[in-house]
Amino acid sequence: MKVLKKLALAGHSRDVGFGEVLEIDDKKIYRYMKPIYVERACLDCHGEREKILPAIRQFLERRYPHDEAYDYKEGYLRGGISITISLEAL
């Protein structure tokens, strides 16, 4: 969550993730997070509910009746993919 906040800062380049070396339980690790931004293509399923193509909307409502992931806007930061590797073996 802290890293996501850093990535959301206005000055942070959208093309760059955030990496850091940390020590957890006396073990050195490197972790890196790549931000996920909402692109045009995401709006086919996550845009304004009324504007989603009926075929897609029906499918989503049938398969994911509790889905609330609508009204996303292009450019929104929607999360991140993070990897962690141990530096012990290096």
Which residues bind to ligand HEC, rule: CB under 6 A? 36, 38-39, 41-42, 44-46, 60, 64, 67, 69, 78-79
Closer Cβ to ligand HEC, 41 or 55, answer by number: 41
Distance of alpha carbon 69 from alpha carbon 32, whole angstroms? 25
Sign of CA dihedral 1, 35, 13, 41: negative
Provide, rounded to whole angstroms, the least separation between the CB of residue 34 and ligand HEC.
12
Distance of alpha carbon 25 from alpha carbon 29, whole angstroms? 10
Provide, rounded to whole angstroms, the least separation between the CB of residue 40 and ligand HEC.
9
Provide, rounded to whole angstroms, the least separation between the CB of residue 87 and ligand HEC.
30
Closer Cβ to ligand HEC, 21 or 55, answer by number: 55
- Comparing CA positions, the residue from 38, 46, 44 lying closest to residue 69 is 46
Amino acid at 14: R
